Structure 1
Amino acid sequence: MNAHAGAVASTFNTKVQIEDGWLQGASSAGVLSFKGVPYAAAPVGNLRWRAPQAALHWSGVRQAMVFGADCPQTPTPGDDAVLQTRFDENCLFLNVWRPAGDTRHLPVMVWIHGGAFVNGGSSAPIYAGSLLAKRGVVVVSINYRLGRLGFFGFPALTKEHPEEPKGNYGYLDQIAALKWVQRNIAAFGGDPRNVTVFGESAGGMSVHMLLTSPMARGLFAKAIIESGAGRGGPDGPERFLGEDKPGLPSAETIGVNFARAQGIAGNDAAALAKLRALPADKIVSGLNMAVLGFMLATRQTPTFAGPMIDGRVVVETPDQAYLAHRQARVPLIIGANSADLSLDFASSTEQALAPFGARADDAKALYDPTGNADYRLVAAEVGADRYMVEPARFTARTLSAQGIPVYEYRFSYVAQSMRSQGIAGAPHASEIPYVLQTIDARYGPSVTKTDRAVADLASGYWVNFARTGNPNRNGLAHWPRYESKSDELLDFHADGTAEGEADPWKARLDLTAAAANDGSKAAH
């Protein structure tokens, strides 16, 4: 703990002292909250596209009762994570919830939101940490830079401040936030030696980065990855900061092209100064998850680099690190949903099965055994298996073989109010309000008794894991530790129960893994 971070919040005192000064939080329903706490300096002006710098100290008591600004973005219509604050480039804030009382050395859970690295923020009600904190943990949620403000390459950027990492500024923010937690969380009653990082989608991909980045070592003790994949490709990154590959332009090339589209010629310091002078909304330029999806579907030239191999924060893809035993050795929960995200777009069953190559006939027997399946459903199942479900099992297999405690899940429960809409299974991100116990924020008065029971179940497993590294406790269905030989996971069933069982999708995922390995061999 920082020498100045000494005053611990209690039931009767919502003030805490951290390294940068005093905070005044709020108390409600047995939970203390501290919102909008800066963990780094505002990344504006000449700090745009710089590694996060130290937050400024303040005098007096800083009010920490409302969320700080979320990072600049264009919201995606229909997104469940509806943000509640303004957008501003000064957005490097985090929030802390803890149970009231004088308890110390509580487990800490740090939530990293998703949103394809272009959307999201910590102010969304479904990301609130108050109900999870009531289970006896300190919950932290963080903002990090998004879109071209968070992941950007440019030749003049690479040349300036050579001592600093470049490109993955959003990832650097996450690392800075975890360092803040190590220095300050004891002031809130948290144990810096017992930190669990957890995230979904881009947040889960971020946890892969934290597991494999040399810069994140020692910052956490456990990890949870929800629908965050685990192989190269979409969760890669396979793109490089400064080196063009066939069909894969570098982040620097994309940055130069973006500058040109903004009427800025060249790639020198003068061009960089003009880029830094652009308003944030010009940098965002309408980018959101829907735009990214359309670009993928139509194979347009990329205008957003996304996470990249920069050589310092990210040195290789997750699967490369896992196969070479170069990741952090910490207990892990990993899994995906039963109707998870697919990035496959097809106009026929044959096209949907094309990724299996010479194994397409075997795939047809598994995904369309009668020959009458809707090709759109086949494409959705194939895509979800390729991009989310099998990579999660690959990670579980690879790390468990190294003796690391791994627990795999599949989330198949659909809120009862949503079932009349003909949903085939649990969609991407639909487990979040159950894990965080924020189902009321997501479903409002439609929440049922069974919905609440599933939320109690899911959040209970997650908190148990954060506490001990094992999700099991008396009263819960046994969650078997993953082993390749038994291939067992915990399934949150559609009826609201949970059961440890051999993976019923084994044949599909074995074939998906074989096709992925075929592609990897062909690439090399």
Structure 2
Amino acid sequence: MIRHHHHLLLAASALLTPVATAAQNPAPVVRAPAGPVAGTLDGDIRVFRGIPYAQAPIGSLRWKPPVPAPAWTSVRAATDFGPACIQPTPKAPNVYTPPAPLPTNEDCLSLNVWTPKHATKAPVFVWIHGGSLVAGSSREVTYDGRELAKRGIVVVSINYRLGALGWMAHPALSQESGQHVSGNYGLLDQIAALQWVRRNIAGFGGDARNVTIAGESAGALSVMFLMEAPTARGLFNKAVAESAYMISLPELRRAAYGMPSGEAMGQMLQAGLKAPDLAGLRAMSAQELTDRAAKLGFFPIGTVDGQILPAQMTTTFDEGKQAAVPILTGFNQGEIRSLRVLAAKAPTSAAAYEQAIRGRYGDLADAFLRLYPAADYQESILEAPRDALYGWTAERLARKQQALGQRAYLYLFDHGYPAMDATDLHAFHASELPYVFGTVKAAGPNWPAIPDTPAEHALSSAMVDYWASFARNGVPTSRNAPAWPAFGKDRAYLHITDTPRVRTALMPGMFELNETVMCRRRADGTQAWNWNVGLSAPTLPAKTAGCD
């Protein structure tokens, strides 16, 4: 697997040699340990795209830990983004559909760098894209790093393996592994990218000892994986988790929490694909395998293997064994408005809703109905999974990092504008991203159009400031917005509406209810904790010692 060679990781600052490709368009060249790369200049920001950080995971390297890319000596063009990793062929468009189909390839392990022209030992912000570990890419226009780079930050965005190619466990793969584990290849890619950053980022003006990992949705899930993974320890100093979800994970060799083992799921996928063996799986076209796996319902997720991911995330964070780093974390008011697949089908009446909740939640039904009342059950059906997945996780991360003596900053993104609210998508999942990256003018064709107004740009400017300053020194500040206090004993958070405002005690009772539900399910051992909430919940286990 991947090992850390700390005595080799920090290279001396590389030479920066501007080479003119045309009199009016000097191409910046960086000579880093990986090899020289020529990028583009966008004002005072140097941009390098499509730099390989690992060999192509194809052929015999499919379902293997990433192998570092060999160094090169000739100047390599880094002007175009690399292809996205293989993902299911798009179907009907939705709010997240990019302007054009993403170019994809199994040879996809590349990264991009935005860096100020004269950066020296600048903070580094490594972005991990979302997409349910199924889709997405570092090339998406929303993730353009220029505005953060204008604040003096070196921004890195990465690709990592997706779907069955990135997350399938299987007994034959475990057998051929030196550590006797399988799955988590996409996570190993992320670790390899961070190791590349440690070795090379000084050449781009970055400080390899001041690295923030950041992501949204599946990217934030990945941030939590990295905080847990022993092999990622020391590769980052701060974490940003936007709309993270601390769900239960399959275990490598045993069925648990209502799920088959990870290896069993791999065997079921093999049977569904009608592949005779591992060689047959490796011989399949990457796109065909991915499309068929999606149709068969394969759900990519991290696997608890005892090594890369030693335990369930909840257990690791309860025991304080995660990375002791400051965290900035939060979620969106309308998460489920664009993810209605996670919302239960509405019943015919408020009475039917209440009856179903009481049958599922037993002694916790009153607490559940106070938060998610029958009187407004249409909204309750959206809010319950929002909180069980994203709200509870955000507050849990803040509490657990604070317990380690680390600063934690919590937010609720609750911003809407006319086009968004008119389509019932107020503060939907990922809607904070154009504000975080300062790309409010570049949202996709199906994204509700963000008004080109001073107020929208001011809000985005404040959020870019907060995220950039957190990457700089672990304290989010903005020139024209309120001071953001740490979570602390007052449970402080930043309520981001049309402007940011400081509040305390986010959604009283929300964390406690979901914590108790998770605790009982974990103790029982037969129920998962994820989107099986409210009307989708199984009958809750009875009161449990240590949970109530």
Same fold (TM over 0.5): yes
Q: Say yes or no: does 1:280 pair with 2:279.
A: no
Aligned with 2:335: secondary structure?
coil
CA 1:81 to 1:460, structure 2 compared with 1: closer, same or farther past 3 Å? farther
Aligned with 1:440: secondary structure?
coil
Q: Say yes or no: does 1:94 pair with 2:111.
A: yes
CA 1:164 to 1:149, structure 2 compared with 1: closer, same or farther past 3 Å? same
CA 1:137 to 1:243, structure 2 compared with 1: closer, same or farther past 3 Å? same
Question: Superposed, which structure 2 residues align to 1:216-295 within 5 Å?
Answer: 216-230=232-246, 233=247, 236-237=248-249, 239-245=250-256, 247-265=258-276, 271-285=277-291
Question: Superposed, which structure 2 residues align to 1:4-15 within 5 Å?
Answer: 6-8=14-16, 14-15=28-29
Structure 1 unpaired stretches of 5+: 266-270, 292-300
Q: Which residue of 2 aligns with 1:298?
A: none
| 1:439 counterpart letter in structure 2 | V
CA 1:466 to 1:286, structure 2 compared with 1: closer, same or farther past 3 Å? same
Note the C-alpha offset of 1:185: 0.3
Once residues 136 and 354 of structure 1 are traced to their aligned partners in structure 2, the CA distance between those partners, rounded to angstroms, is: 55
CA 1:214 to 1:81, structure 2 compared with 1: closer, same or farther past 3 Å? farther
Question: Superposed, which structure 2 residues align to 1:20-99 within 5 Å?
Answer: 20-74=34-88, 75=90, 77-80=93-96, 82=98, 85-99=102-116
Greater mean alpha carbon deviation, residues 409-418 or residues 336-345: 336-345
Q: Say yes or no: does 1:488 pair with 2:492.
A: yes
Q: Which residue of 1 aligns with 2:375?
A: 372
Greater mean alpha carbon deviation, residues 9-18 or residues 279-288: 9-18
Note the C-alpha offset of 1:473: 5.0
Asked if the contact 2:330–2:391 (Cα under 8 Å) also holds between the matched residues in 1, the reply is yes
Once residues 17 and 516 of structure 2 are traced to their aligned partners in structure 1, the CA distance between those partners, rounded to angstroms, is: 53
| 2:324 counterpart letter in structure 1 | R
Deviations 1:91-116 (A, max 9, x none): 0000000122x230111000000100
Once residues 69 and 515 of structure 2 are traced to their aligned partners in structure 1, the CA distance between those partners, rounded to angstroms, is: 45
Greater mean alpha carbon deviation, residues 241-250 or residues 395-404: 241-250
CA 1:5 to 1:60, structure 2 compared with 1: closer, same or farther past 3 Å? farther
Note the C-alpha offset of 1:512: 3.0
Note the C-alpha offset of 1:163: 4.2
| TM-score, L = length of structure 1 | 0.89
Aligned with 1:177: secondary structure?
helix
Once residues 149 and 471 of structure 1 are traced to their aligned partners in structure 2, the CA distance between those partners, rounded to angstroms, is: 37
| 1:497 counterpart letter in structure 2 | T
Deviations 1:319-375 (A, max 9, x none): 21111111111111111111124634243323467664422123223322xx432x3
Note the C-alpha offset of 1:36: 0.3
Once residues 206 and 500 of structure 2 are traced to their aligned partners in structure 1, the CA distance between those partners, rounded to angstroms, is: 30
Asked if the contact 1:409–1:490 (Cα under 8 Å) also holds between the matched residues in 2, the reply is yes
| 1:487 counterpart letter in structure 2 | R
Aligned with 2:441: secondary structure?
helix
Once residues 388 and 9 of structure 1 are traced to their aligned partners in structure 2, the CA distance between those partners, rounded to angstroms, is: 45
Asked if the contact 2:170–2:182 (Cα under 8 Å) also holds between the matched residues in 1, the reply is no
Question: Superposed, which structure 2 residues align to 1:35-434 within 5 Å?
Answer: 35-74=49-88, 75=90, 77-80=93-96, 82=98, 85-100=102-117, 102-163=118-179, 166-230=182-246, 233=247, 236-237=248-249, 239-245=250-256, 247-265=258-276, 271-285=277-291, 302-341=297-336, 343-348=342-347, 349-350=353-354, 351=356, 356-368=361-373, 371-373=374-376, 375-423=377-425, 425-434=426-435
CA 1:521 to 1:157, structure 2 compared with 1: closer, same or farther past 3 Å? closer
| 1:20 counterpart letter in structure 2 | A
Asked if the contact 1:51–1:165 (Cα under 8 Å) also holds between the matched residues in 2, the reply is no
Once residues 265 and 17 of structure 2 are traced to their aligned partners in structure 1, the CA distance between those partners, rounded to angstroms, is: 47
Greater mean alpha carbon deviation, residues 408-417 or residues 426-435: 408-417
Asked if the contact 1:8–1:189 (Cα under 8 Å) also holds between the matched residues in 2, the reply is no
Greater mean alpha carbon deviation, residues 160-169 or residues 383-392: 160-169
| 2:311 counterpart letter in structure 1 | E
Once residues 273 and 429 of structure 1 are traced to their aligned partners in structure 2, the CA distance between those partners, rounded to angstroms, is: 39
Once residues 355 and 208 of structure 1 are traced to their aligned partners in structure 2, the CA distance between those partners, rounded to angstroms, is: 30
Asked if the contact 1:486–1:502 (Cα under 8 Å) also holds between the matched residues in 2, the reply is yes
| 1:345 counterpart letter in structure 2 | A
Once residues 338 and 184 of structure 1 are traced to their aligned partners in structure 2, the CA distance between those partners, rounded to angstroms, is: 39
| 1:284 counterpart letter in structure 2 | T
Aligned pairs, number: 495
Asked if the contact 2:137–2:159 (Cα under 8 Å) also holds between the matched residues in 1, the reply is yes
Asked if the contact 1:333–1:407 (Cα under 8 Å) also holds between the matched residues in 2, the reply is yes
Note the C-alpha offset of 1:19: 1.9
Once residues 18 and 459 of structure 2 are traced to their aligned partners in structure 1, the CA distance between those partners, rounded to angstroms, is: 31
Once residues 491 and 190 of structure 2 are traced to their aligned partners in structure 1, the CA distance between those partners, rounded to angstroms, is: 32
CA 1:357 to 1:207, structure 2 compared with 1: closer, same or farther past 3 Å? farther
| TM-score, L = length of structure 2 | 0.85
Note the C-alpha offset of 1:522: 3.7
Note the C-alpha offset of 1:283: 1.5
Note the C-alpha offset of 1:43: 0.2
Greater mean alpha carbon deviation, residues 159-168 or residues 251-260: 159-168
Note the C-alpha offset of 1:5: 6.3
Deviations 1:477-502 (A, max 9, x none): 0211112x312111102xx1111111
Asked if the contact 1:240–1:308 (Cα under 8 Å) also holds between the matched residues in 2, the reply is yes
| 1:285 counterpart letter in structure 2 | D
Greater mean alpha carbon deviation, residues 169-178 or residues 7-16: 7-16
Greater mean alpha carbon deviation, residues 356-365 or residues 217-226: 356-365
Question: Of residues 449, 455, 474 in structure 1, which corresponds to 2:454?
Answer: 449
Once the two structures are aligned, what percentage of the paired residues are identical?
A: 36
Asked if the contact 1:227–1:392 (Cα under 8 Å) also holds between the matched residues in 2, the reply is yes
